[in-house]
Structure 1
Amino acid sequence: MKIESRLAQIGSISEPVTGAVSYPIYHSTAYRHPKLGQSTGFDYTRTKNPTRTILEDAIAQLESGDAGFASSSGMASLQTIFALFSQGDHLIVSLDLYGGTYRLLEKIMSRFGITATYVDTNDLDALESERTPSTKAVLIETPTNPLMMVTDIEKVSTWAKRHGLLTIVDNTLLTPFFQRPIELGADIVIHSATKYLGGHNDVLAGLIVTKGKELSEQVAFLHNSIGAVLGPQDAWLLMRGMKTLALRMERHQENATKIACFLKTHLDVENVYYPALPEHLHHDVQNRQSSGNTGIFSFRLKDARLVEPILRHIKLIAFAESLGGVESLMTYPAVQTHADIPEEIRRAVGVDDRLLRFSVGIEHADDLIADLAYALEEARKEIGV
């Protein structure tokens, strides 16, 4: 089946007793054993839950992987994956990186002797120069958050396999509807499922997909042992959101492209960072490895003084953290999502005090453009330009 059909049918034929089209929520934490030495397949909900299993099987199939794991958040998924590594191990990580991932690596994993080096993962020479005998994996965000840098997944995965390294791809911004990294050679895919997969700003969740029997067994052990698993109610909410993923991603992409085109010609905007735009540095790579574009982009203003009044004057668009929901949200990365990254590192990458990140929702594009135009005009008046 096409991916649109597989998404819409998640869990719809999985309950044979009643024929329930919406898969039930199993809140039970314990499951009766038929007799000594026998199991129904479910023993304790941390290890396996019927509702969560439907979700995990669905994401594994959608991402072309062998096993799926649902976690209590995207950060819990990352923590579970980082537990694959040991003291002294080294990771190579995307240069432009979500602040929470940076915080986890630098303030927590570093205490256990796991180190990370941040590079432009499109530059194979840079990857090679940073590789050491202790390097175990490459972690890629593509597109990155917030500067929308794109990495050639197949190129990096091929390089990593040649050196016996794992390739881990954060696919949050494109979802398996638009991009499937395992098909391009990745070993592990992670999602902050709170974002586009859930899609409604009402569920906190993370997902992991693995390729290969041994790796899947290792992650299953860690997932159960660490225990940051997703509860059944949230698993059900996430499945419900995923059923409309195809429709939403198409609308997110359509709206984001229209608004990015509006902003790139605005006299107060210096740059727009969105892979759908032909002038994007890796526009061709994005088109080759993905079937569409995300609904998030960033733009840099010419004057930092515009930031505060813009955020105050937007009405339809909410000034709020997060992304990927049906409602449009605008974020100021320097003081919100990326505040934990030291200022000199942020500025070197491009996350400065003039950058705004826009998660475009599914409202009508004309209304969103009108809201932005009004906020920009009022901001101009306030600063006297």
Structure 2
Amino acid sequence: MNQIPLTLGEKIGFKKQPRGFSTRAIHAGQDPNQWKSHAVIPPIVTSTTFAQDGPNEHSGYQYSRYKNATRNSLEQCLAALDNAKYAVAFSAGVSTLTAILTTFESGDGVITSRGFYAGNFKILDAFSKLGVKVKYIDFTDSKNLKQALDDSTKMVWLESPMNPSMTVLDIQLLSEIVHKNSKAFLVVDNTFLTPYFQRPLELGADVVAYSISKFIGGHSDIIGGSISTNNKEFYDKISAYQIMIGVVNSPFDSYLINRSLKTLSVRMEKHFENSYAVAKFLESHEKIEKVNHPALESHKEFEVAKKQSYGHSGIFTFFIKNGTLEQSKTFLKALKVVICGESLGGVETLASYPWLMTHGYLKDEEKIKAGVTPNLIRISIGLEDVRDLIDDIENALKSI
């Protein structure tokens, strides 16, 4: 058998991807024999209700909010990709945090960071009014976590890489601190890397959360979220609240996500190859102050990223040298191939401006604390010809 070529991640020094991921992505939860038709692609089951032989005598399906065959197929596949026993799919990424917090009681504590996804702040602020205690800390110094943990701490919520700073946190180290010093569970938002490039459960996390709308969905046409875990008690509680709250994927969205998972590995490799090439170009450009891409040797946590990940995706940030708000806006408006827009992880390249977009509702001092400055650009590199992307970005930089 001929030797299989190394991936970009392996060439740079990231962890070697074990065999089987693509096979699970295509087949897990999708055995044709589970359907009478033997359909290779899971059917879209749109029925909201199912016939019963008698009162509470059913096939396992009663009402589609409780259980749906298309969604079940998706959840089995999502669990398999994280090497987890269980997965729960939601109607949106923010529903993952909301569902978890709904199981909390007044006085329960959460430790997280202001440097993470800004949309979570609104959810946490709402639950803090109901008695949930929220602490915001800097996770880059692990001592801060140890000091923040107390008897009330029920959950520690991480992102790595962080959004939008691209800071990489040592998940294994932080999970050891959490489990040694508290009874809290550790949740890692793994949206940026997907289970292809990082599997936090392998690093000691208790739960992994995703916005499926991003790289997992991959085509900018799905809103969804998911949680993976090996904890049966946690799974039972969250799946019960999933049903109770009604934040479930529609059958069609479940079908679309299943479709996207089949190409996840090849898409993520291409995202990585393209983003790495663009990041290297920007790093050498005279008008760029700094590039935050975890696969670059210049990244502060380069060694941590290599230790815990299998590579990187298409998302990174860069700073325009001495850039002002107006210069950043001029640059974004000058782009032709790259689209200025919200979100990330699609096949098309998207550039966003956190200062006015994702973090726009925060006060300026809060933005700065979150690592967001007027010269910061976040870019999600897609699957276009990388030469077209570099040419487009180079031309846009000439306008400032």
TM bucket normalised to smaller: over 0.9
Identical positions, percent: 38
Provide the rounded CA distance (Å) in 1 between the counterparts of 2:81 and 2:329: 41
**1:12 Cα offset (Å):** 4.1
**1:343 Cα offset (Å):** 2.0
Provide the rounded CA distance (Å) in 2 between the counterparts of 1:259 and 1:13: 40
Residue aligning to 1:161: 179
1:301 matched to 2:320? The reply is yes
Paired letter, 2:318? F
Provide the rounded CA distance (Å) in 1 between the counterparts of 2:302 and 2:53: 57
Q: Of 356, 375, 378, which aligns to 1:335? A: 356
**1:10 Cα offset (Å):** 4.6
Q: Of 255, 265, 283, which aligns to 2:284? A: 265
Residue aligning to 2:85: 66
CA contact (8 A) 2:166 2:292 kept: yes
Provide the rounded CA distance (Å) in 1 between the counterparts of 2:284 and 2:137: 31
Within a 5 Å distance, the mapping from 1:340-379 to structure 2 comes to: 340-377=361-398, 379=399
Per the normalisation by structure 2, the TM-score is: 0.92
Most deviating of 30-39 and 350-359 = 30-39
Provide the rounded CA distance (Å) in 2 between the counterparts of 1:269 and 1:113: 45
Question: Which structure 1 segments of 5+ residues have no match?
Answer: 381-385
Residue aligning to 1:246: 265
Paired letter, 1:36? P
Provide the rounded CA distance (Å) in 1 between the counterparts of 2:28 and 2:153: 38
Query: How many residues were matched structurally?
Result: 378
Q: Of 119, 133, 151, which aligns to 1:133? A: 151
CA contact (8 A) 2:114 2:121 kept: no
Paired letter, 1:254? E
Paired letter, 2:352? T
1:202 matched to 2:221? The reply is yes
Paired letter, 1:362? L
Q: Of 8, 13, 21, which aligns to 2:40? A: 21
Provide the rounded CA distance (Å) in 1 between the counterparts of 2:28 and 2:384: 26
**SS of residue paired to 1:191:** strand
1:100-130 per-residue CA deviation (whole Å, 9 max, x = no partner) reads 1122112x11221113222222422111222
**1:210 Cα offset (Å):** 2.0
Question: Which structure 2 segments of 5+ residues have no match?
Answer: 1-18
Most deviating of 253-262 and 157-166 = 157-166
Residue aligning to 1:218: 237
Q: Of 48, 65, 78, which aligns to 2:67? A: 48
CA contact (8 A) 1:11 1:22 kept: no
Most deviating of 118-127 and 362-371 = 118-127
Within a 5 Å distance, the mapping from 1:172-187 to structure 2 comes to: 172-187=191-206
Aligned CA RMSD, in angstroms, stands at 1.3
**SS of residue paired to 1:267:** coil
CA contact (8 A) 1:142 1:149 kept: yes
Residue aligning to 2:95: 76
**1:296 Cα offset (Å):** 0.3
Q: Of 210, 235, 252, which aligns to 1:191? A: 210
Residue aligning to 2:332: 311
Paired letter, 1:356? I
Residue aligning to 2:247: 228
**SS of residue paired to 1:5:** helix
Provide the rounded CA distance (Å) in 1 between the counterparts of 2:327 and 2:283: 16
Residue aligning to 2:52: 33
Residue aligning to 1:383: none
1:121 matched to 2:139? The reply is yes
Most deviating of 303-312 and 358-367 = 303-312
Provide the rounded CA distance (Å) in 2 between the counterparts of 1:68 and 1:311: 38
Paired letter, 2:374? D
1:336-375 per-residue CA deviation (whole Å, 9 max, x = no partner) reads 1112333212112320111110010000111100000001
**SS of residue paired to 2:344:** coil
Per the normalisation by structure 1, the TM-score is: 0.95
**1:313 Cα offset (Å):** 0.9
1:300-348 per-residue CA deviation (whole Å, 9 max, x = no partner) reads 1122132111111101000110000000000000111112333212112
Most deviating of 11-20 and 160-169 = 11-20
**1:183 Cα offset (Å):** 1.4
Q: Of 322, 326, 330, which aligns to 2:343? A: 322
**SS of residue paired to 1:140:** strand
**SS of residue paired to 2:129:** helix
Provide the rounded CA distance (Å) in 1 between the counterparts of 2:162 and 2:230: 23
Paired letter, 2:164? P
**1:47 Cα offset (Å):** 1.0
Paired letter, 1:312? K
Q: Of 226, 237, 243, which aligns to 2:256? A: 237
Residue aligning to 2:27: 9
CA contact (8 A) 1:252 1:295 kept: yes
